Structure 1
Amino acid sequence: MYRGEKQDIASQESDLKVYRHDNLKSQSGGGTTDFDYEHEGILFKKGKGFWKTNLQGMDRLAKSWRLGYPTPNSLAYVRFIDDFPVSPISDLWTDTQTGAFTDEKVYVVQTNTKVIERCLLMASDPGDLVLDPTCGSGTTAFVAEQWGRRWITIDTSRVSLALARARIMGARYQYYLLADSPEGQQKEAEVSRTTPSMSLSRRDIRQGFVYERVPHIMLNSITRNSEIDVIWNRFQEALDPLRDNLNAELRENWEEWEIPREAGKDWPESAKTAHAKWWEARIERQKEIDASIATKADQEFLYDKPYSDNSRVRVAGPFTVESLSPHRTLAMDQDDSLIDTTTASEGKHVPEGMGEADFAAMILENLRTSGVQQAHKEDRISFTSLNGWPGEFIAAEGRFMEGDTERKAGVLIGPEFGTVSRADLVAAAREAGDAGFDVLIACGFNFDAHSEEFSKLGRIQILKARMNPDLHMADELKNTGSGNLFVVFGEPDIEIEPVEGDKIQVRIKGVDVFHPQSGEITSSGPDGIACWFIDTDYNEESFFVRHAYFLGAADPYKSLKTTLKAEIDADAWATLNSDTSRPFPKPSSGRIAVKVINHLGDEVMKVFEVSKWN
């Protein structure tokens, strides 16, 4: 390096490349690798070993400016630091530590996004299904959505699911170029220096993205690259005459490697012009050779660095938030052992660690202090007394005030690890009627789909009180009576209307709510509904969200608008922020299902028969 360069190193950094000399000798070989080689006027003896490549390979190294000699007697291979500018990830991830400038915390045990991202990229491909049985703040689902993976996440806490839902819906994601798309095919051709693919694209995410890549340049990447000879010969047609002209002007006999980088101050202008043109062509030749080496070398794909289209903004794809399946399931205990369903429906299973106090007793203790919460705060059923009842299905007798009148309620306790069925409700309601009860309160962690259609048997009103999953904690749960451990969320009050074109539409008027003070059932109105969904062709096996609508006083998409930094189309939003559905064809099954979720996260589903419109 010249003294002037050392004094102004900052101005030279962009033109500098870090390299080291690597061994060109091998202990094995013979034949084509057994020769002496002359480079830049110096004859290098092969010595006791052999060269790592043949004569043609050595010439290509020389043409690529990849030969150097740290001493006059040793010829070496020039290896640049960016011949392989990345390094494989080891099992020590020091770059994933949590600090003040990492992810914003929305959950107490929130996992670092980078940790999940790395695991997901290592273990899956775009389009794969990722299962996270412990949702928490939804980091896994958030990362899977970003990287084009399908996902299912599970949690027992409604708080976790609400946080995850808001986080995913309010996020803005990068739009990665799909390999199976016209723009992706164009980018792939640009990066790989090939002709764009003419095959029909289907935008199949399983084909992956267009990824950044780095060359992995090794010795044979150069020695076996015949394109170097073509580039060299093409440029020599211009370089040789320029060198001859420069030598003639200066009365020199310089070989290519002897031409100085800087022109002499006392050179004539014609020599300076010839010198400048020679170096311009010489640098251009080196750039083409380097590009050829990088392209022909093995490519290492950087799967964490797909190319993005910054002109597009992507938001989360459609997803649903589902509760525990509303269908009949086998009753299991916490050790995954089958338990007797009759015993389970009577609430007589004794969970481990609860001693003599069985599951039913624990539920009654919490029910006694918490009461049953209706949709409105003032409509809580507070028991004046709650005592055990020796029935087959009814486990307790509860008394509460309906205005100035005392009413008696029979209490059915559903299974600890199962689902309350319609048959359970029918049997319990009959028993309540025979015993002179006024109302049946059925407490269960979940109810099957058909039980949702059943709300009254004769004079016996049936209230389905969903038990909070926190009750599973039993011993750890502090019984203060302040939490909504038992919630009655009434049936959807809807109207099915025929519309033009042999279609129907659904208008939701609210949720039917039982008022214990008066004994009346009224509709709460749509303001008590956070969102509602329709399965327009319910098959009685699974609820599939085909229509989704969002109600309530607050704007549910405010955070999304902020994220997108743009206004959402008012007309498009009006079709979602509505208590009336878009028209849809009559169901082939003759049934639709409507699921309603209130602002507390409680939900109810009801199946409606619509065959009369067929």
Structure 2
Amino acid sequence: MSRRKQQPNPSLPIDDFRHAADKRVNNPPAGMAPTYEVQQRQASRYAYNPHLDPQLVWAGKAEHTSFEVEVVSLHIHERISTKAILEAVRRPQPLQMDLFGETPLPADQEVEFYQHEVGWANRLILGDSLLVMNSLLVKEGMAGKVQMIYIDPPYGIKYASNFQPRIDRRDVKDKDEDLTHEPEQIKAYRDTWQLGIHSYLTYLRDRLLLARELLTESGSIFVQINDENLHLVRCLLDEVFGRENFVAVITFVKTSGKGGATLDSVNDFLLWYAKDKSQVKYRQLFLEKELGEEGTKGYQHVQLPDGARRRLSGPELESPALLPEGVRVFKADNMTSQEAGATTFEFQFEGRGFHSGKNSHWKTNRDGMERLRQAERLFAVGNTLSYVRFLDEIPVRPLTNVWTDTGIAGYGDPKVYAVQTNTKVIERCMLMTTDPGDLVFDPTCGSGTTAYCAEKWGRRWITCDTSRVALAIARQRLMTAKFDYYELREPERGPAGGFVYETVPHITLESIAKNTEIDAIAATYQPQIDQALADLNQALRKQWQEWEVPREVPHPVWPKEAHEAYKKLLKMKDSGALGMAEKAAPLLETVYRLTGHRWGSLAEVPEPMPPEDWPEAAQEALRRFWALKRQKRQAIDESIQRNAPQETLYDRPKVVRGLVRVSGPFTVEAIPVPAVEDPTQAPIPPFAASEEAAPVPGQEGRISDRGGDYLTTMINLLKQQGSVLFPGGKKLELQNLRPLNLGYLHAEAEALQNGHTLRVAISFGPQHGPVIAHQVQEAIPTAKLNGYQVLLFAGFAFDPEAQAFMQKAPVGGLQVHLAHIAPDVLMGQLLKTTRASQIFTAFGQPDVRVERKTRDGRWLVQHTKEYKEALAENAFPQDGAWKVELRGVDIYDPLTGKVHSTRGQDVAAWFLDTDYDGKTFKIAQAFFPGDRNAWEKLQRALRAQIDPEAFEQMRGTVSFPFQAGKHERIAVKVIDFRGNEVVRVMNLVKEVAMYEQKI
């Protein structure tokens, strides 16, 4: 019988954390950035104290007593909400803008960037960390706003060891084909390691100084490092933060050792410094105590459920799993302190006198000692009176600075990046030094582990990296993450109001000795216990004290001869052999003669030995005595638990069941890099080419950073090549190429096309960044106004907004092309061999098919004959559904310098903005064809609410149906495995001709 398919529940149990009370300034959207007034260049100056003593000395430090950092804007490129993406899976609907955390502003305020506060959204930023931090400080006034900073700088000086070249390849090697070819990464590596450890120390010290400015007075910074540079980095931190603000060196086990020729290193280190140690925020974390592990030395006794006590056996000590259920392990703890005092006296316990000692004193007074007796927390070991400390009364131990559970076995999240840190390491730093709602910053994003941990624990976060690969991995990781929903202490405030945490008691000798409830409980039960004891003694004619009473009716004390006869009878009975009656008769007689127990045959011999023949009154008194003792012990234990101090477990907030939490809204941002750079690295666009490019002293093969030199080099390279390669093997042959000083147009040439000579203008992108929208907006009208028929943008990378701008605001009669410059020309000596073939290669747009649903349910492809006929017949409903298919994309391969036509299912990811406003790309639908497991966690959590086929579609190339938004325009963004992005903008209803791109 086939199983009926389960219908998804339309009510999605999905939520995210919003930080409603927190604000950020209104950064410019990347699509509006070209209209943002280009102000005169600014820079911030930072200075060091040259008189520190002692201090570390390295080459260039004496000259580097101060430095300038350019003040840049951070442009918002994307807005992301996983909740919005999952909502779109359920049914076609317009984009729900409120889910993206965007605050609408009046039209006049919308263009007044950095002047108004808007709702908080977390931030993923592409750009140099020094520029990002300076922008946060100067443009956004965030000095003293960050609670924790986590920095994981490069450990070594090999180029390959610092950067991951592809999203799908975590192994980093030192071959040319394995190196990253991103221009920002090449610059970052050279800035860091140009002079080896000397430039590394300068690089790090500059960033530590700005990090300190960002921290709150109670803030902390953690720097992750290995033993190679641990001592040097600690000296840097001493200089920047002050030796007095050093908190700890944390040693943690990493995933694996290097397998070195000598002693293998299996740990890394965290250097923890405070902005002001006297004000540092600190939350104590705990680890569970496990018998036989750290913190359980001396726990060698056990109390059984009936209150009886004994020592642990050897096997039980080695394997606690052998312990019977319900037992409580305890240690006999010291009850005295040195030196005589007011509590130096003799105390009577179980008929014996115990003295604290002439030169010692009890840890509590006589009343406290009596309460410990009533609570059954005293235990005599030889001539010493000890305190019974149960293992479960302080079930945790404080976390120290040595973490041994962070290796492979403790890895809590799949590894997606070459140098990914275990989440447990960063979580602990975060939980120790921040509260929910606090802001965390990581200038070394990598795979986004800090952002992931911050999202998990309800902290706000900002993180940045120079690598597009790193940001692509982090973005996917955050978009597809699933978290528990923690109970909020003040729901109206969100995470900032705190979580409701689990607690554990911290029961001590002092808390018991001062618990006056024990007196009242003892007063209730003790008279009844005393009466039961008196009744027992009267029935048996005994004078037992409370501690002498047996727990059950004891076995009789038989003579040795009777015991021997009884054992032989049991053995005969167990054997079951015939003819035993005659052998058993004399033994039965012996037992009767010596004990008075008469058994007629072997079958009547009892097992085990029968107890003493107590009168019923004695047996009832014994049962009553122990029942009252158990009730008294339980009541006192409950009182002790209730009145004991509680330890808050900050890593165990209470979970709300039945609710799936996803990442809250976040933005993807970037630093705009102007088209040309001058010798001081401060851009002043535009910049004219010089006649000859100046060489870089001592660095053969490297292009000068001076703007004119860079442009001259690019023009010479293009002149040597003589053409630009297009997909399909076609070439644009350039003739009479020469420099041009016309705004953002840097060179001009002529090209032959269909028998006609066309004027060609060339605009080069920046040396260490992408071609941005501002450059495109300025260059296109300049080219059109000056009579050029072809405009070629040549760059090492291209901002998606630059591509989108060309498509949403076309100018007729102007062919516009984008050409990749092979990054080999930047890498120089980083490569073992340099390719001498194609340097400039053009690429096209993604191949996208748009379909629209008719009133009768047919899907028709846009721009086809059938579509136009249906449009004329009004066959499409006003609020009808659309869908998009990614059929393929041209992907530039920096290793070969060629453009490959790639199928849609062979890309790393593609995103769809179903209502593109030209300002920012809002990811309404997200697809990961290159990673079949991307949505796996959310699919398992939401299998009852979202059809599994929907998640399968999110791994494919066809979008979900959607309704057109108010802009009636969509944008498709495609990400390749090197993190590069290409964008296609398409109008849904209004027909607009795009730039001609024909050769």
| TM-score in same-fold range (> 0.5) | yes
Matched, 1:62 2:373: yes
Q: Which of 312, 318, 334 is the aligned partner of 2:658?
A: 312
Pair 256,609 (structure 1): closer, same or farther in 2 beyond 3 Å: same
Between stretches 434-443 and 85-94, larger displacement belongs to 434-443
Q: What does 1:168-179 align with in structure 2 at a 5 Å threshold?
A: 168-173=478-483, 175-179=484-488
Matched, 1:214 2:504: yes
SS in 2 for 1:161: helix
Checking the alignment, whether the CA contact within 8 Å between 2:689 and 2:712 is kept in structure 1 is no
Checking the alignment, whether the CA contact within 8 Å between 2:332 and 2:379 is kept in structure 1 is no
The residue aligned with 1:463 is 817
Amino acid at match of 2:974: N
SS in 2 for 1:96: coil
1:456-503 CA-to-partner distances (Å, cap 9, x unmatched) read 5452222345779898656536654699986554799989999x9999
Checking the alignment, whether the CA contact within 8 Å between 1:371 and 1:380 is kept in structure 2 is no
Amino acid at match of 2:458: G
1:379-427 CA-to-partner distances (Å, cap 9, x unmatched) read 5764545875211144445777868988664321023357756674466
The residue aligned with 2:331 is 19
Pair 56,430 (structure 1): closer, same or farther in 2 beyond 3 Å: closer
Pair 386,153 (structure 1): closer, same or farther in 2 beyond 3 Å: farther
Pair 593,250 (structure 1): closer, same or farther in 2 beyond 3 Å: farther
Q: Which stretches in structure 2 are left out of the alignment for 5+ residues?
A: 1-300, 302-308, 317-321, 556-611, 853-870, 891-901, 991-999
Matched, 1:410 2:761: yes
The residue aligned with 1:192 is none
Pair 131,47 (structure 1): closer, same or farther in 2 beyond 3 Å: closer
Q: Which of 665, 668, 673 is the aligned partner of 1:322?
A: 668
Q: What does 1:458-537 align with in structure 2 at a 5 Å threshold?
A: 458-465=812-819, 473=827, 475-476=829-830, 480=835, 487-489=843-845, 530-534=910-914
Pair 8,97 (structure 1): closer, same or farther in 2 beyond 3 Å: closer
1:283-302 CA-to-partner distances (Å, cap 9, x unmatched) read 33223323322332222222
Q: CA deviation at 1:428?
A: 4.1
SS in 2 for 1:253: coil
Q: CA deviation at 1:246?
A: 2.2
Q: CA deviation at 1:226?
A: 1.5
Amino acid at match of 1:205: P
Checking the alignment, whether the CA contact within 8 Å between 1:68 and 1:75 is kept in structure 2 is yes
Pair 26,504 (structure 1): closer, same or farther in 2 beyond 3 Å: farther
Checking the alignment, whether the CA contact within 8 Å between 2:739 and 2:748 is kept in structure 1 is no
The residue aligned with 2:32 is none
Checking the alignment, whether the CA contact within 8 Å between 1:343 and 1:349 is kept in structure 2 is no
SS in 2 for 1:95: coil
Q: CA deviation at 1:597?
A: 0.9
The residue aligned with 2:983 is 604
The residue aligned with 2:364 is 53
The residue aligned with 2:962 is 581
The residue aligned with 2:551 is 261
Pair 555,364 (structure 1): closer, same or farther in 2 beyond 3 Å: farther
**In 2, Cα distance between the equivalents of 1:472 and 1:64?**
77
Checking the alignment, whether the CA contact within 8 Å between 2:887 and 2:904 is kept in structure 1 is yes
SS in 2 for 1:154: strand
Between the aligned residues of both structures, percent identity stands at 30
SS in 2 for 1:204: helix
Q: CA deviation at 1:95?
A: 1.9
Q: CA deviation at 1:450?
A: 8.1
Q: Which stretches in structure 1 are left out of the alignment for 5+ residues?
A: 181-199, 515-523
Q: CA deviation at 1:508?
A: 6.2
The residue aligned with 2:649 is 302
Q: What does 1:88-237 align with in structure 2 at a 5 Å threshold?
A: 88-98=398-408, 104-173=414-483, 175-180=484-489, 201-202=491-492, 204-236=494-526
Pair 501,3 (structure 1): closer, same or farther in 2 beyond 3 Å: closer
Matched, 1:390 2:739: yes
Q: CA deviation at 1:251?
A: 2.0
Checking the alignment, whether the CA contact within 8 Å between 2:491 and 2:497 is kept in structure 1 is no
Matched, 1:240 2:530: yes
**In 2, Cα distance between the equivalents of 1:337 and 1:440?**
27
**In 2, Cα distance between the equivalents of 1:462 and 1:5?**
83
Pair 546,410 (structure 1): closer, same or farther in 2 beyond 3 Å: closer
* TM-score using structure 2 length: 0.47
SS in 2 for 1:87: strand
1:570-592 CA-to-partner distances (Å, cap 9, x unmatched) read 499599974653465x5xxxx78
Checking the alignment, whether the CA contact within 8 Å between 1:331 and 1:415 is kept in structure 2 is yes
Pair 29,11 (structure 1): closer, same or farther in 2 beyond 3 Å: closer
The residue aligned with 2:682 is 338
**In 2, Cα distance between the equivalents of 1:17 and 1:513?**
66
How many residues are aligned here?
Answer: 565
Amino acid at match of 1:545: K
Pair 380,246 (structure 1): closer, same or farther in 2 beyond 3 Å: farther
Pair 60,388 (structure 1): closer, same or farther in 2 beyond 3 Å: farther
SS in 1 for 2:687: helix
Checking the alignment, whether the CA contact within 8 Å between 1:21 and 1:68 is kept in structure 2 is no
Pair 177,47 (structure 1): closer, same or farther in 2 beyond 3 Å: same
Q: CA deviation at 1:221?
A: 0.7
**In 2, Cα distance between the equivalents of 1:139 and 1:570?**
30
Pair 333,274 (structure 1): closer, same or farther in 2 beyond 3 Å: farther
Amino acid at match of 1:598: V
Checking the alignment, whether the CA contact within 8 Å between 1:24 and 1:77 is kept in structure 2 is no
**In 2, Cα distance between the equivalents of 1:273 and 1:386?**
115
Tell which has more relative contact order, 1 or 2 (C-alpha 8 A, sep 6+): 2
**In 1, Cα distance between the equivalents of 2:878 and 2:926?**
22
- Over aligned residues, Cα RMSD in angstroms? 5.3
**In 2, Cα distance between the equivalents of 1:26 and 1:501?**
90
Checking the alignment, whether the CA contact within 8 Å between 1:83 and 1:215 is kept in structure 2 is yes
Amino acid at match of 1:263: V
Q: CA deviation at 1:22?
A: 0.7
The residue aligned with 2:639 is 292
**In 2, Cα distance between the equivalents of 1:166 and 1:93?**
29
Pair 206,106 (structure 1): closer, same or farther in 2 beyond 3 Å: same
